[in-house]
Structure 1
């Protein structure tokens, strides 16, 4: 290179750049072929002594590098490092990839069909299956010649001339087998080895017919020849082969080899001992499971969250006697009660598009779909009318804001959450509901409608909590500010008989909130929203962004004519209370 001048160096640089582009586009094998062709590597190496060996030694690492690059998506620098590691460490990648390859397969044993061997010669030829004349017993088609024409008979055994055609085809096949045997036997330059064995298909085999079927004056052996016994056959072959210097050897029986695995001393088996302690108090729970303890034994420990069905809806008629209350009648008086009906209402309110041009038609469509899907015995028209009134009832947010005024983009429906209790998987203590009661006493003013709940919560017989608390908030509304409001839909009946909106006064709703332990639910939902906003709301400030909770008692929501304070129970737990409960649940 030093003596070649700048021109050669420029050409070499251009070739290297072209090879680099080829490597990036098509891989290392393409770059290797480009360099080999441009530099005439093959012709230059093969022109010298041992060139084939050296060319093989050059191709071998090229093929390995191409495989490594393709499997590992390696670039040029990584391939240089891989090759350097193999050169520096003889044991790196030990195995077949480092074995030296043959420079030529001329000395290798080749397994070929007779057809593929036509025109070729080999020093030694083995013909192992010349004794086997097995054919299809009942062919579905026949190929034969009729004069100078080729015939394909597809008529089957019941077709005309089938037997005659079958005989002709068999004779032609027998002749073809002899010609193929001739090709096989004449491929050898020095020695040919053939096997003969007595078996059922041997009678029509070409080698058997050639050895035992020829008679004087008849160059064409019969299509089938009787197979002699072993001793006469050996005598005949020996006598026939000796003058022609053909060796006849009897194949000795060989006991097949069987692989025997090495004997290993197996250790004595022993049942593993379970010595890890189980925390039987760790569980996944929910608001419904916690408050069920007021009437039932604590739920069994489990590792799965509670079922997603709405379990905070009443399942029976209220115990409150019939109370006459003036006011607009409830639009749900003719509709059923219970958890199944509550789930149906939740589903419709979750899916309705409040931005629809024709909101009544949209609501009726969603109601019909939900009723049909749940096979509910509910009049969809009556339910749609009642829910339209719910959507148009003021929520006590910014004067006359209603659910219908909140765009779908500002309503997050069914916000699922899972809160770690006392560290979750990494337990670091325990959570006591009595601690929440203490926080309620500390943060709620005495005139708060739900202040008495602290004493009621303290009576719940709930064991210490460790694990996870799961739940789903019916809806989170984003209103001006922005402020975020927790919304929960309730289908509770607060009295027996025909209801009016006045049955759902603030005092009646507060009593129901206390009776059903809804303040606990509201606090847990507020904590879940607080933790969600910590991640999602820029410059999050609980005092500014938490907008309280709204419990919508839908049976008392009759539209714009709903009396003030009826149907919608609003509660604004102090932000400090929400933060304190969040810390308590986290045991921090």
Structure 2
């Protein structure tokens, strides 16, 4: 019995200029149909229609894709702004002109002048506030959501994110394996064959089950006493998962998978879930998800729970390009979403390929289902109807310019067996090199991005694995055709990384063994025979050279080392003279640059550099991190060779496919199977994402036969989709190979070529080889060619005219005022020149960002000596100094005042922090007792007399780090803004009677007034408090100060030394008002794109500078209603707005 899925909404062609989608919409793309264009166009239309940019969210899968999407959306908004501007100008001049050729631009430029003006204002506002838009990878989105949800989320702020948990996986696997089986009284590991479940298999199981933590394991043992290999493998797998989770939590580690699972758990929590979900729905009203076919069940569950049915959700993807199952992507999540969507549209025009190529590929694939009946190749129209690959001056051989060429080795029915792939693959390599050489020599014209002859850079070769790519690249280079392997992994996975590791090891310990090893690297260039015959003098000379290099590295750094070696060993000339030398030299320099940057940033010595490089190599070779791409300036001039997976999303004029005939389909060997279990109790269902399971039971597990059959079906679908991606990368031509081998029957090309043409879309698993493609009549657009059918014509790259070299003149002006600065840097000169009155000392209190006053500074007191009466400060007996300030800041950042016993919490955190400072002369109890009163002191009218203890973590944003552009930032404006302009603004806008009304005079001092405000200003606000008032929330900047404001010779320290008038003087002396204003501007800009309906008058709540030594709890003395120790200031919101504009380079009003 078979159960079919619920009928989905019928797909219809999507009109990008039609009504804007609402509800949940799936847009099914095909290769080359413009997914990114559609997303950017929809985003622009939503914004023009009045949707705030900050309420749009766009998600894609990968950092490079995210960067491209961000660029394309910004370009689209800029194009719309320009088109609307021109349209308004035409209307103003009563000249209708011509409508834009782009249909979306034409649509948005249609309407009366008032309507166009409103759209223009919205688009301009979106461009000005573009940083507020959420364009992120799935994992970045999850991290941000967990951060924003705060206490509503299952999130540990001090947990450490790591991309790779490989070491922990191996540790857990080994420990669980030994614990379970080391003491067993029978042969290890237990009475089952060790080759089936030995240590290697155990690590394999552990890696897979941990990498798929959300996937159920099968087959489940019938009872806990079952003694069988499948049952024991299941128990081992569940034990590994449990231990792995425990150790991650204990070590405060989390991974990408944890982010997803924690966010889903947060949204589904019966207590906090509804509030968390509502917060996300309020935040984002339009959600667009690109590459949705690459999602997984957890990601889809998050989107469905948070947004479906409430926000507009547009899911854009192409299930035919779902090729990342090995990374956890699950195309069945996409198919489930199609079944739940309110509407399904298709993008039905191919903007990439020539019409002839589109038609030929349609002949090959149209109507075919790729692993599931719901994933069908739909017909598409071609935008490029003309041929863009045409004959040049020389006559091209027959068939060479056809859109699809299939080169084959004729089938021999008399052969006893098919040839080995080990013989056939080199034969294809030779034919591929010969064919590319013939094509280049024939000189056909390519009309893609301009006219010109076909060049090596117009050709791509797509393979399955990088090893095969290196083989083909070597063959092409040996024949004189430039070739490069793209995306071959991280540069740290290259041989050059090993050479660097060998060199650094020798520089750290220049012993004979290490020196001999370096001699065989490109840095020295000896051969093995030369090393074997080297005499004592040669080895002594090399040893002296290595020791000299070691001194260069120690005293001058990695960059100087590279230049020294290049000069000493004629490195560039020697390496470039070898085959593939350009790539090798580029890799060596690339790694050298990374080492230099790392050493400089972290002040690392050679030992630390060795550890850093070894870790990068390990990560690269386990493919656990996003790749550090290998670069070469001449890559675009060479034949580009890359994997099919790496080619997704790219396009090339001409594509060669030497491997889509080659697929090995092994028998079931007991490996783990990650499949969708669609058959249960004799009933077969159409699979869904909820059916995903991981079979850990091996060959003898219950239900293994059905799951192995499903695995063959899904694997075959993956291979067909991989072939679809490969075939559709081309703009003008595809060249593929077919060979008769034991790997051919189950290959994608064999299944596509020899399928039944009666209209049935589902393909058989295998098509036996009974003939070759030469017997097929595929119609126009195809050329079926036996290999070796024409002589090889050598191709030589055209010589480039060498012009006379001349020195380049540096004629740019250096902007010496541009810098990255901070509050501390801006005020350093003034602090260093002031002569302070005795009696008031300011501690440095270094924060994460350099925004505190310098060490050992004194604060002048212009009023009187400190009072001798009043309550004693709770911190009177506590030390002074930078270390103490750091500890206090850390405590205030970490405390959750509503977590239970506040005193106990403070004591525990104090103990944690003091553990890093064993020399401190205080106990955790003394420190907690000194800090506790500050949490219980009313904060005064500015905070509705709330205490810090009354404000939950959800309403306290700690350590808000910012970086503000000054006078345009990276694109400096012409206006010269200086700190004196800030003083002028204060003098003009501060009302009379303001406690800081004298501060503009201090900013007028030349050492301060002349400070340029050009570049970037960075800092970190200790905390922002959200105070809930009758008219809504307001936000208050808070800074914690541990300054000693008493007389050092007069003890004890009194709370009344921190009276409001004394605090005002202390604030001005230390230039804290400048810090407070800069922080307020940062908060103003932050709230502009984070607070719905932001109004500075309502939402900017002022500043609280908490001098914690003067805060004594509920009984803290008040003067004019203000508690001692609390400095409150709420300048006019107009001041903050004008200051923000001034810092951005705007002219003063």
Tell me which interval the TM-score lies in, with the shorter structure as reference length.
0.5 to 0.7
- Alignment pair present for 1:475 and 2:1023: yes
Cα distance change, pair 100–330 in 1 and its aligned pair in 2 (3 A): closer
User: How far is the alpha carbon of 1:400 from its aligned partner?
Assistant: 3.5
Deviations 1:36-72 (A, max 9, x none): xxxxxxxxxxxxxxxxxxxxxxxx9689659x999xx
Deviation of 1:479 (Å): 0.9
Measure the CA separation in 1 of the matches of 2:819 and 2:936.
Answer: 41
Q: Secondary structure at the match of 2:958?
A: strand
Q: How far is 1:96 from its partner?
A: 9.4
Write out aligned runs for 1:196-211 (5 A): none
CA distance in 2, matches of 1:457, 1:272: 44
Partner of 2:1144: 586
1:361-380 equivalent positions in 2, closer than 5 A: 361-375=904-918, 377=920, 378-380=922-924
Partner of 2:1055: 501
From 806, 812, 819, the equivalent of 1:276 is 812
Contact 2:365 2:377 (8 Å CA) reproduced: no
Q: Does the 8 A contact of 1:284 with 1:470 survive in 2?
A: yes
1:252-310 residue CA offsets vs partner (Å, 9 max, x unmatched): xxxxxx9999876644444433322221111111111111121459xxxxxxxx99355
Distance, in Å, in 2 between the alignment partners of 1:108 and 1:278 is 78
How many Å separate the matches in 2 of 1:512 and 1:25?
65
SS of corresponding position for 1:471: strand
Q: Distance in 2 between matches of 1:439 and 1:381?
A: 47
Q: 1-side partners of 2:854 and 2:999: how far apart?
A: 19
Quote the Cα distance in structure 1 between the aligned partners of 2:369 and 2:808: 46
Q: 1:518 aligns with which of 1072, 1080, 1083?
A: 1072
SS of the aligned residue for 1:373 comes to coil
Q: 1:381: how far off?
A: 1.7
Deviation, structure 1 residue 406: 0.5
Call closer, same or farther: CA 1:291–1:27 in 2, change over 3 Å.
closer
Choose from 402, 411, 419 the match for 1:105: 411
In the TM superposition, what is the alpha-carbon distance from 1:323 to its structure 2 partner? Answer: 4.0
Q: 1:313 to 1:389 in 2, by over 3 A?
A: farther
Distance 1:489 1:26, change over 3 A: closer
> Which residue is equivalent to 1:388?
932
| 1:344/1:371 contact within 8 Å kept | yes
Q: Work out the CA distance in 1 between the residues paired with 2:1035 and 2:321.
A: 57
Which stretch shows the higher mean deviation, 438-447 or 479-488?
438-447
- Number of the residue aligned with 1:20: none
Q: 1:552 to 1:267 in 2, by over 3 A?
A: same
Q: Per-residue deviation at 1:393?
A: 0.8
Partner of 2:897: 354
How far off its partner does 1:446 sit? 2.8
Q: Determine the structure 2 residue equivalent to 1:338.
A: 881
Of the two, which has the highest radius of gyration?
Answer: 1
Secondary structure of the residue aligned to 1:480 is: strand
The structure 1 residue matched to 2:1037, chosen from 486, 489, 493, is 486
Moved more, 560-569 or 437-446: 437-446
2-side partners of 1:509 and 1:308: how far apart? 24
Query: What is the alpha-carbon distance in structure 2 between the residues aligned to residue 373 and residue 80 of structure 1?
Result: 65
Q: Secondary structure at the match of 1:496?
A: coil
- Provide TM-score, normalisation by structure 1: 0.57
Aligned equivalents of 1:438 and 1:259: distance in 2? 72
- Kept in 2, the 8 Å contact 1:486–1:526? The answer is yes
Listed one character per residue, the Cα deviations across residues 212-266 of structure 1 (whole Å, up to 9, x for unaligned) are xxxxxxxxxxxxxxxxxxxxxxxxxxxxxxxxxxxxxxxxxxxxxx999987664
Alignment of 1:26-37 (within 5 A): none
Aligned to 2:830: 294
| Alpha-carbon shift at residue 580 of structure 1 (Å) | 1.7
The whole-number CA distance in structure 1 between the counterparts of 2:853 and 2:980 is: 25
Q: Note the alpha carbon deviations across 1:169-214, whole angstroms, 9 max, x for none.
A: xxxxxxxxxxxxxxxxxxxxxxxxxxxxxxxxxxxxxxxxxxxxxx
The answer to whether the 8 A contact 1:415-1:473 is kept is yes
Matched-pair contact (CA < 8 Å) for 2:933–2:1112 = yes
Residue 400 (structure 1) aligned with residue 945 (structure 2): yes
Q: Is structure 2 residue 377 aligned with structure 1 residue 76?
A: yes
Rounded Cα–Cα distance in structure 1 between residues aligned with 2:940 and 2:1125: 11
Aligned to 1:365, the other structure's residue is in SS state: helix
Structure 2 counterpart SS, 1:278: coil
Contact 1:288 1:311 (C-alpha < 8 Å) held by counterparts: yes
Counterpart pick for 2:1128 among 549, 570, 581: 570
Q: Distance in 2 between matches of 1:424 and 1:525?
A: 17
Runs of 5+ consecutive residues of structure 2 not aligned to the other structure: 1-317, 323-359, 392-398, 424-793, 834-845
Q: Is the 8 A contact 1:314 1:492 kept in 2?
A: no
Q: What runs of 5+ residues in structure 1 fail to find an aligned partner?
A: 1-23, 29-59, 117-257, 298-305
Question: Per the alignment, do residues 475 and 389 of structure 1 end up closer, same or farther by CA in structure 2, a change over 3 Å counting?
Answer: same
Q: 1:26 to 1:442 in 2, by over 3 A?
A: closer
Separation in 2, partners of 1:424, 1:551: 29
Match of 2:967 in 1: 422
Counterparts of 1:204-353 in structure 2, within 5 Å, are 266-296=802-832, 308-309=848-849, 311-313=851-853, 315-316=855-856, 318=858, 323-353=866-896
Could you tell me how far apart the structure 2 residues matched to 1:111 and 1:371 are? 74
Matched, 1:431 2:967: no
Q: Conserved in 2, the CA contact under 8 Å of 1:313 and 1:492?
A: no
Partner of 1:533: 1087
C-alpha change, 1:90 and 1:539, in structure 2 (3 Å) is closer
Superposition deviation, residue 107 in structure 1: 11
Q: 1:457 aligns with which of 1003, 1027, 1035?
A: 1003
* Alpha-carbon distance, 1:550 to partner: 0.7
Superposed CA deviations along residues 444-487 of structure 1, whole A, max 9, x for unmatched, are 23322110001111112433321111111111111122121111
In structure 2, what is the Cα distance between the partners aligned to 1:407 and 1:430?
A: 43
Map of 1:185 onto structure 2? none
Moved more, 440-449 or 516-525: 440-449
